[in-house]
Chain A
Amino acid sequence: MRVCSGRSLRRSYAFFLVLAAVALGREQCQAITIDDFSVGPVTVSRTGSDPAEALQTGLDEHHVLGGQRGILVGEAGSETQTAVVNSAAGVFEFSTDDSFGYLDLLYGTDEKPLNIDLTADGSTAFVLYETDSDVRSAILNIYVDSSTGRGATRVTATSP
């Protein structure tokens, strides 16, 4: 029977660990920042029967794709729903009260389209990082408007 030395075995483990780190590390490498929530602090609240919305413009495009962020809170559901961009902490928070919550985040407008190649830098997926959640249920979709039409996909928020 062929017997490997401890040194050879250690080399094999090291090679395996390096290979795994390189390959899996690519997944954590963010290619395009659509929003890192580090600019444009705002609170958008629905308190009553009407939805609330905000369109922020002139934001740093290194942090918000296209420099614009639209937030629409409470198209239906609870009369108390709140969305907060806490730029100091670099987080986006949403909460709803005694009924369902509805929220839309919008990037790009008809007047100022993004005109971006999402596949640049080898990107193959959207990612939405979540650090805190007690949401028992929700439907989360991403819609994409391109020059050839509109598409959608379901997304699951993940830990960073």
Chain B
Amino acid sequence: MAPFSLISEGIDLTNVQRIEVSYIRVAPYSHFTHTFFGTVPEPSGSALVAIGLSGLGCLLRRRTTL
């Protein structure tokens, strides 16, 4: 995975002309298989915080029952 935020600055991602995937110095006697190349949304920070708080709540509730 490669977040867009790691791409060099100054690139207009809303108007992309070409995309190139470049494999360099693949080790001798290697083989690989790919099934998909595309884009994905990453989980939002607020959602991860909500998961964390919810999980913490579960742990605390469990502790009170013990």
Question: Is the Cβ of B35 less than 8 Å from the Cβ of A90?
Answer: yes
A114–B39 CA distance with the chains assembled, in angstroms: 15
Q: How large is the interface on A (under 10, 10 to 19, 20 to 34, 35 or more residues)?
A: 35 or more
Q: Classify the secondary structure of B's interface with A.
A: mixed
Which A98-146 residues have C-beta < 8 A from chain B?
98-110, 113-119, 121-146
Find out whether the CB atom of B36 lies under 8 angstroms from the CB atom of A33: yes
> Could you give, for residues 5-37 of chain B, a 1 whenever the CB lies within 8 Å of some chain A CB and a 0 otherwise?
111111111111111111111111111111111
Return chain A residues, CB-CB under 8 Å to B51: 16, 19-20, 23-24
* A148 → chain B closest CB, angstroms: 4
Chain B positions within 8 Å of A4 at CB level = 61-62, 64-65
Q: How large is the interface on B (under 10, 10 to 19, 20 to 34, 35 or more residues)?
A: 35 or more
Task: Please state if A154 and B6 are interface contacts (CB–CB under 8 Å).
Answer: yes
Complex CA gap A85/B65 in Å reads 57
Instruction: Kindly state whether residue A151 has any CB partner on chain B within 8 Å.
Output: yes
Flag whether A149 is at the interface (Cβ < 8 A): yes
Question: Is the beta-carbon distance between A100 and B20 smaller than 8 angstroms?
Answer: no
Decide if the interface of chain A is mainly helix, strand, loop or mixed: mixed
Q: In the docked arrangement, what's the CA distance between A12 and B18, Å?
A: 47
Q: Which chain B positions have C-beta within 8 A of A124?
A: 3-5, 39-42
Q: Are B2 and A142 in contact (CB under 8 A)?
A: yes
Select one of B31, B47, B61 contacting A93, CB under 8 A. Answer: B31
Asked if A113 contacts B17 (CB within 8 A), the reply is yes
Residue of B nearest to A146 (CB): B12
* Contact across chains for A100 and B36 when beta carbons are under 8 A apart: no
Chain A proximity of B16: nearest CB distance (Å) = 5
Is B19 in contact with A114, judged by CB distance below 8 angstroms? yes
What residues of chain A have their CB less than 8 Å away from a CB belonging to chain B? 1-4, 6, 8-9, 12-13, 15-16, 19-20, 22-24, 26-37, 65, 77-78, 90-110, 113-119, 121-158, 160
20 A/B residue pairs, CB under 8 Å, sorted by A: A26-B47, A31-B38, A34-B38, A77-B25, A95-B32, A102-B23, A102-B25, A105-B20, A105-B21, A109-B18, A116-B16, A118-B14, A124-B4, A124-B40, A128-B37, A138-B26, A141-B24, A142-B7, A146-B11, A146-B12
